[in-house]
Amino acid sequence: MKKLLKNKFAVLGISIIALLILAAFFAPVISPYGQSEQNLYQRLLPPSSEHFFGTDDLGRDVFSRMIYGSRISLAVGFISVFIILFIGTSLGIISGYFGGKTDSVIMRFTDIVLCFPTFFLILLIIAFLEPNIFNVMIVIGLTSWPGLARLIRAEVLSLKEREFISVAKMMGIDNLKIFAVHILPNIISPLMVYASLAIGGAILTESALSFLGLGVQPPMSSWGQILTSGKDYIYIAWWLSVFPGIAILITVLAFNLIGEAIRDVFDPKEEYVRK
C-alpha cells in the first residue's frame, strides 16, 4: 500500500474513484434536483449557476442525473466484475491445477465463448431478456470471464510445480485448502490488475448498452442514457453529450491508472528495471 500511494497516477485514480463513490452514496444530498424532476419551461437550458450542466429535452437537471447515474455505472462495474472474478478464477484454478481431461473440457468451452464477439453476445442475450440494470450486470459478468480464466490457468500451471504445493500434497492437505491457502494468495496480483481494468471495461459496456436503449430504463438514469438523449440535440445542446462523455472517460481512465499502478507495484521485474 505504501508503494502504491507513492505512485502519483495511483493516487490520482484512487482520489477520482473515491469522489465518485462518495457522490453516488450521497446523491440525494448532493443533487440539487431529483433525477426525474421535470420542468418543460426550462428544457435545453445551457450550463448556468442554476443548472451546472444544463438541462435536457424534458427540463431535467443534467448534473443531478449524472450524480444519480454514477450509482448505476459503479454498481455495474463492481458487481459484474465480481461475477467475472468468481467464474474466471474458479475455472482457471480448476483447469490449471487438475489438468488432463478437466483442463481440456474447460479450455475448449472457454475457446467457444471466446469465439463470439463479447459485445454482440451481450446484445443477443439482452435482446431476449428484459433490459434492466440487474440483467445488464449479470450478462456482462457471464460473458466476460474467458480472458481471466486463461490468465489464471497459466498462473496456476506455473504455481502447481512449485515445491510448497508438492509438500502440501504430500502432507495430505485437501485440494480446497490448497486452493485457498497456497494458490489464491499467489495470484492476487494479476487478479487485482485484471479487476481494476475490467471495471472500466464494464462501465463502457453498460454505457454502450444504455446508449442503444438496451441498458438502464427510465426513470433510472445512467451516463449512457444521458448520451442517448443528447444525440438528437448535439448541435443545439452540446452539454448533453459532452459532460457524460467526459465522466465516462475520466472514470475509465481512473480505473486504468489504478490497474497500471498495481501492476508496477507487484511486478518485481518492473521495480528492478526502474532501479
pTM value is 0.84
pLDDT surpassing 70 at residue 270: no
Convert the pLDDT of each residue in 161-184 to its tens digit. Answer: 888 888 888 888 888 888 888 888
**pLDDT given at position 38:** 85
pLDDT surpassing 90 at residue 259: no
Tally helices (H) and strands (E) across the chain.
14, 0
pLDDT surpassing 70 at residue 105: yes
Rounded Cα distance between 166 and 164, Å, is: 5
Convert the pLDDT of each residue in 108-144 to its tens digit. Answer: 999 888 887 777 777 777 777 777 778 888 888 888 8
Closest to 245 in 3D by CA, of 78, 68, 77, 66: 66
CB 44 within 8 A of CB 233: yes
Residue ranges of domains in the chain, CATH in brackets: 64-267 (1.10.3720.10)
Task: Please provide the average confidence, as pLDDT, over all residues in the chain.
Answer: 84
**pLDDT given at position 272:** 39
Rounded Cα distance between 102 and 245, Å, is: 44
What dihedral angle (degrees, nearest 10) is formed by the CA atoms of 153, 159, 164, 167?
Answer: 50
Q: How confident is the model at residue 271 (pLDDT cuts 50, 70, 90)?
A: very low
Closest to 97 in 3D by CA, of 31, 160, 8: 160
* Residue 45: partners with Cβ closer than 8 Å, 6 or more residues away: 51, 54, 55, 59
